[in-house]
A and B are shown apart, each in its own frame.
Chain A
Amino acid sequence: MEKEPIIMNDGLDGLFEFVDTDSFESEKITAPRYSYWKSVGRVFFRKKSNWVFLGILVLILFMSFVWPLFQPFSLNDPANENLLHPETFNNSPAEYFMSHPFEFKYILGTASNGDSLWNKLWTASRTSLSLAFICTIINMAIGIVLGAIWGLSKKFDLIMTQIYSIIGSIPSVLLFSVLSYVIGVGFWSFVLALTVTGWLGIAFFIRTQVIIIRDREYNLASKTLGTNIFTIAFRNILPFMISVIVTLIATELPSYVSYEVFLSYIGIGLSANDVSIGQMINAASTSWMIRPWQFWPPVIVSAVVSIVLYVVGQNVGDASDPRTHM
């Protein structure tokens, strides 16, 4: 098309020229490509305190899962050189090093049969963390799947809501004590006790979230395109729940660590043969005034693990909400 010349009389002749309009050019997006998980990482690491908390978490995980491989610990280990020397039992670090040469593993003193308290602490931490991770994985897996069905199916909702209100009204401590009498105490029976009803609360939470997202218009659009309900759950609803699921994990993980401490303390947790944070606190609690070096380390580890897991989890949860990705 011929363009009409514009007469300019303000001395700008030659400074301006016509450009062609390119309709495709105007559709271009110049912003860098968006990647969900990269943005999650970027937002998480933007906060300096997260580096510190993540560092502590990695350190604790390393000490709990790698350290015991090099310094194995078991109760009544025949390899324990102090077993035949009762004078080394229940020694504080100062007491111990007065009569023995310095050895790193006795830095926290000794336990009731001369064991290294340091090695015992990390083996105990491994037990407690494994327990928390296994229970969280089982409960989250059952909870998310059933919660999704619960939220999507109206028939299932009627039944499940009744089950929830009946089982939810049983005090959990009562349930644990009955179960520990019936199936005994030990690591796996403890896992069973924590997962037999533990998923119910998670499923109810997921159900509520699913109901919020379920009736949004884009799900209707997927339905009119013939998408089946499983694909809708997996592709349309689940991605919106990553943030709430991570936040939920962040509260679940520390809660199992504290549960273990609490239940071991009242005597229905792990057996006395298991080395766990709860058992260590339980054993030291009666004499914590006279042997504080046996009491405080497991308490501190339990508290730090809970706080760090919670803070890191909450921050990953926040970072996985795309509204923070600006």
Chain B
Amino acid sequence: MTDNNEKDVIISLRNVDISFGRGKKAFKAVSNASFDIYRGETFSLVGESGSGKTTIGRAIIRINQCSAGEILFNGQRISGKLSHSLEREVIRKIQMVFQDPAASLNERATIEYIISEGLYNFHLYENEKDRIEKIEKIIQEVGLLPEHLTRYPHEFSGGQRQRIGLARAIVMEPEFIIADEPISALDVSIRAQVLNLLKKFQKEKGLTYLFIAHDLSIVRFISDRIAVIHKGDIVEIAPSEELFNHPLHPYTKSLMSAIPVPDPLIEKNKELFIYDQSMHDYSINKPQLVDIGNGHFVFGNEEEIEKYKIERGEK
């Protein structure tokens, strides 16, 4: 990943391993993950449940510890032990939008407190009036009303709650937002509302997103680049359209073949491609994530990479 020097890298993962438990019981959730996220883009992580997408997101925001490797934010290491001031800076500049809008808001606090929480912690306001102005502005930007500030989360619908969750992240004026399946828990009719808000804020504030999802149609709509992760290994990274037009890794192909087609005739006769990990023979030749051009990285051993390159070239 050296030929992208001209782009401004905001987050960089370098050979990150994340494991839970110790000794014999240790479980490696993510192994040897390396990728860069460029400033201003939306980078998506897709994969099935339990593949380690959320774990990576939580490692960046320092909820999970890395057992090996390092994570860089604006060129500074943010994994492991940090100085107090750097830690505060990282907390302020990296924010997170959670999956479940019902569980991620404090049920016993008013919306005013929930949105102001980060402002209080970093004292990001000049005086009380300034704070009220800030939260009134942000709540209107997410399409809610200032009169909602005195209400409690249980009075809102799922979509409204998720917008409150977004508002409390945006009001911190972060540089980077981790959106951990922000729309998975929402009704289909209001998913677009939240996605459009995310896009609007990206345009206005130059935000960078790490978008974690498993719904490929939404990922295609929102992302600039996509990383596919399978059982803790990143198997393919490519720009959005490149990945959808030329999926190379068999796991990516199986994901693509699982996208439903809104035509019953095609859907009925569609042949699903099922990925079996045992098809790879990695006993002698260890696999690596290799750049095969066009910003396309695939995970495989030398033999497979040659095959992928030919496949990509033919198309």
Q: Do A and B come from one complex?
A: yes
Question: Do B106 and A218 touch (CB < 8 A)?
Answer: yes
Among B92, B105, B108, B113, find the residue whose CB has the most chain A CB atoms closer than 10 A. B108
Provide the residues of chain B in CB contact with A33, threshold 8 Å: 150-151
Which residue from A27, A220, A225, A226 sits with its C-beta under 8 Å from B143? A27
Question: Do A226 and B91 touch (CB < 8 A)?
Answer: yes
Q: Distance (Å) between the CB of A34 and the closest chain B CB?
A: 6
Question: In A1-50, which residues have CB < 8 Å from any B CB?
Answer: 23-24, 27-29, 31, 33-34, 36
Give A236's nearest chain B residue, CB to CB: B106
Question: Do A239 and B155 touch (CB < 8 A)?
Answer: no
Q: Distance (Å) between the CB of B209 and the closest chain A CB?
A: 15
Question: Do A34 and B151 touch (CB < 8 A)?
Answer: yes
Q: Distance (Å) between the CB of A213 and the closest chain B CB?
A: 11
Provide the residues of chain A in CB contact with B108, threshold 8 Å: 36, 236, 239-240, 322
In the complex the two chains form, what is the Cα distance from A224 to B160 in whole Å? 21
Is the C-beta of B172 less than 8 angstroms from some C-beta in chain A? yes
Provide the residues of chain B in CB contact with A235, threshold 8 Å: 106, 109, 113
Q: Distance (Å) between the CB of A2 and the closest chain B CB?
A: 25
Question: Do A223 and B168 touch (CB < 8 A)?
Answer: no
Question: In A212-244, which residues have CB < 8 Å from any B CB?
Answer: 216-218, 220-228, 231, 235-236, 239-240
Provide the residues of chain A in CB contact with B168, threshold 8 Å: 221, 225
Q: A36-B108, A218-B104, A225-B168 are in contact. Are A24 and B145 (CB under 8 A)?
A: yes
Chain B window 129-157, contacts with chain A (Cβ cutoff 8 Å), 1 for yes, 0 for no: 00000000000000111011011101110
Interface-forming stretch among B95-103, B229-237, B269-277, B283-291? B95-103
Question: Do A27 and B160 touch (CB < 8 A)?
Answer: yes
Provide the residues of chain B in CB contact with A28, threshold 8 Å: 145, 147
Q: Distance (Å) between the CB of A152 and the closest chain B CB?
A: 16
In the complex the two chains form, what is the Cα distance from A122 to B6 in whole Å? 86
Question: Do B145 and A225 touch (CB < 8 A)?
Answer: no
Interface-forming stretch among B114-122, B198-206, B257-265, B307-315? B114-122
- Please give the number of chain A residues whose Cβ is less than 8 angstroms from any Cβ of chain B in the complex: 27
Q: A27-B160, A240-B108 are in contact. Are A217 and B143 (CB under 8 A)?
A: no
Question: Do B118 and A23 touch (CB < 8 A)?
Answer: no
In the complex the two chains form, what is the Cα distance from A27 to B141 in whole Å? 13
Question: In A137-177, which residues have CB < 8 Å from any B CB?
Answer: none
Is the C-beta of B28 less than 8 angstroms from some C-beta in chain A? no
Is the C-beta of B207 less than 8 angstroms from some C-beta in chain A? no
In the complex the two chains form, what is the Cα distance from A24 to B113 in whole Å? 22
Q: Distance (Å) between the CB of A234 and the closest chain B CB?
A: 11
Provide the residues of chain A in CB contact with B105, threshold 8 Å: 218, 221
Provide the residues of chain B in CB contact with A29, threshold 8 Å: 148, 151, 155-156
Q: Distance (Å) between the CB of A23 and the closest chain B CB?
A: 7
Question: Do B106 and A222 touch (CB < 8 A)?
Answer: yes
Provide the residues of chain B in CB contact with A218, threshold 8 Å: 103-107
In the complex the two chains form, what is the Cα distance from A269 to B257 in whole Å? 79
Q: Distance (Å) between the CB of B203 and the closest chain A CB?
A: 20
Give A224's nearest chain B residue, CB to CB: B96
Give B103's nearest chain A residue, CB to CB: A217
Chain A window 75-87, contacts with chain B (Cβ cutoff 8 Å), 1 for yes, 0 for no: 0000000000000
Q: A29-B155, A226-B92 are in contact. Are A221 and B98 (CB under 8 A)?
A: yes
Provide the residues of chain A in CB contact with B118, threshold 8 Å: 225-226
In the complex the two chains form, what is the Cα distance from A225 to B91 in whole Å? 7
Query: Which 4 A-B pairs have CB atoms at the shortest separation, nearest pair first?
Result: A239-B108, A225-B118, A226-B121, A217-B103
User: Given contacts A220-B104, A221-B96, A226-B91, could you give 6 more A-B pairs where the C-beta distance is less than 8 Å?
Assistant: A27-B143, A29-B156, A217-B104, A224-B61, A224-B94, A225-B117
Binding site for A on B (CB under 8 A): 61, 63, 88, 91-92, 94-96, 98, 100, 103-109, 113, 117-118, 121-122, 143-145, 147-148, 150-152, 154-156, 160, 165, 168, 172
Could you jot down 10 A-B contacts, CB within 8 Å?
A27-B143, A218-B103, A218-B106, A224-B91, A225-B172, A226-B121, A227-B121, A236-B109, A240-B107, A322-B154
